Structure 1
Amino acid sequence: MSEQLVLDMKKTALVLIDLQGGIVGRDVKPYPAMEIVARCREMADAFRAKGAPVVYVRVLMTDFLKLATDEVMQLPPEIPAAASEIVEAAGKQEGDLLITKRHWGAFAGTELEQELRGRGVEKIVIAGIATNLGVESAVRQGTGLGFNFVTVSDACSTFSAEMQEFALKYIFPRLSRVRTTSQVLEAIGN
């Protein structure tokens, strides 16, 4: 059994990955995208109520960094601006941070590290879509920078059950604490 989660809300931030039009419209598993959005919004409301930072990270779909890879990401020739915007249902509020990335990871080439350090953040609660892409990339980069993470298992989803299972069984337990939305809310005191 995992130990009880303790969060110092003066040193903890919530980082939500890619809750944007071009991502939440995709078929993800094991949880539908709008279920992920709802859980993330619930946590964001709880973090705000405690005065803790809430960060929404989006990828700029029209400027996605093109790298030489064996599997090229297929993007449509015309990408509407809404594809890169945080969906209204995610509940982004004035005062929340918005970080724009150009590739999978939220820290590389962005101001995320500086924004978090400037607020005294040491621990990051992270959730979003896709578990093994944007979320995992952020956790890998952030642990390399010395941040501690809590990955919210039922507030992440990806493109197959196998991808989700592998990430939550073999990757995240080695890089973070893995807890559910209810465990995070309990630790916040909601």
Structure 2
Amino acid sequence: MELQENAALILIDQQKGILHPRLGPRNNPEAELRMLELLAFWRHTARPVIHVHHLSRSPDSVFWPGQSGVEVQPRFEPVAGEWLVQKQVPDAFSGTRLEEDLRKAGIGQVVIVGVATHNSVESTARTAGNLGFDTWVAEDACFTFDKADYFGNARSASEVHAMSLGNLHGEYATVVSVKRILEAG
């Protein structure tokens, strides 16, 4: 496992709305600290950082434009030279120039962190893998929320997180810890 010199860190949906209590119980309370560790490492090693922000098409979303939930959390504010991708659906590749921009920059490896594991993280990682990018998902730098399964059974955020990572690992992405990523860099 080797982290490429130009591996891109894709930081998904670190906006104020993701902290809204109406989203319910979440897992991995240390996730933001792990995201910040990777962000600091990427900045220190001058690797590309891509901030993905959600601008929802649904007025009842915590990411509806024009209200505070769409604003970036101050600790994840992009700095000069970092990319910004604005998406309207969970997949950061859908309806954006992300694939084109990664290819133009000669980037073949992406490391995905953020929220929610079962939603934007999983859909973005699936597409990245399908497009042929060497895709890593940092399992401890993502989190999600309690959710009922298709049959109406309540699932804890930890169960939803684990299943989502299980869906990705070995097929669309390599699921790995932040510690392993830092050791590979």
Within 5 Å, which residues of 2 pair with 1:61-76? 61=56, 63-64=57-58, 74-75=60-61
Contact 1:37 1:90 (8 Å CA) reproduced: no
- Unmatched 5+ stretches in structure 1: 65-72
Aligned CA RMSD, in angstroms, stands at 2.0
In structure 2, runs of 5+ residues without a counterpart are: 146-156
Aligned residue for 1:19, secondary structure, equals: coil
Q: Deviations over 1:46-65 (max 9, x none)?
A: 1122221000101103x34x
Distance 1:28 1:13 in 2: 30
Pair 1:149–1:28, CA change in 2 (3 A): farther
Aligned match of 1:111: 97
Separation of aligned partners in 2, 1:75 and 1:45? 30
Question: Cα distance 1:75–1:7, how it changes in 2: closer, same or farther (>3 A)?
Answer: closer
Work out whether residues 112 and 138 of structure 2, in 8 Å CA contact, stay in contact via their aligned partners in 1.
Answer: yes
Matching of residues 58-137 of structure 1 within 5 Å? 58-61=53-56, 63-64=57-58, 74-75=60-61, 80-137=66-123
Tell me the residue number matched to 1:68.
none
Whether the 8 Å contact between 1:122 and 1:148 is mirrored in structure 2 is: yes
Determine the structure 2 residue equivalent to 1:16: 11
Shift of 1:27: 4.3
Aligned to 1:69: none
Amino acid at match of 2:81: G
Q: Say if 2:153 is the partner of 1:167.
A: no
| CA displacement at 1:79 relative to structure 2 | 6.0
Q: Does residue 6 in structure 1 map to residue 2 in structure 2? A: yes
Quote the sequence identity (%). Answer: 32
Q: If the length of structure 2 is used for normalisation, what is the TM-score? A: 0.83
User: For residue 46 of structure 1, what is the aligned residue in structure 2?
Assistant: 41
Q: Say whether 1:151 aligns with 2:137.
A: yes
* Equivalent in 164, 174, 178 of residue 177 of structure 1: 174
Q: Closer, same or farther in 2 for the Cα pair 1:130/1:28, shift >3 Å?
A: farther
Comparing 130-139 with 44-53, which one deviates more in the overlay?
A: 44-53
| Equivalent position amino acid for 2:159 in 1 | E
TM-score by length of 1: 0.81
CA distance in 2, matches of 1:93, 1:178: 27
Q: Which amino acid aligns with 1:59?
A: H
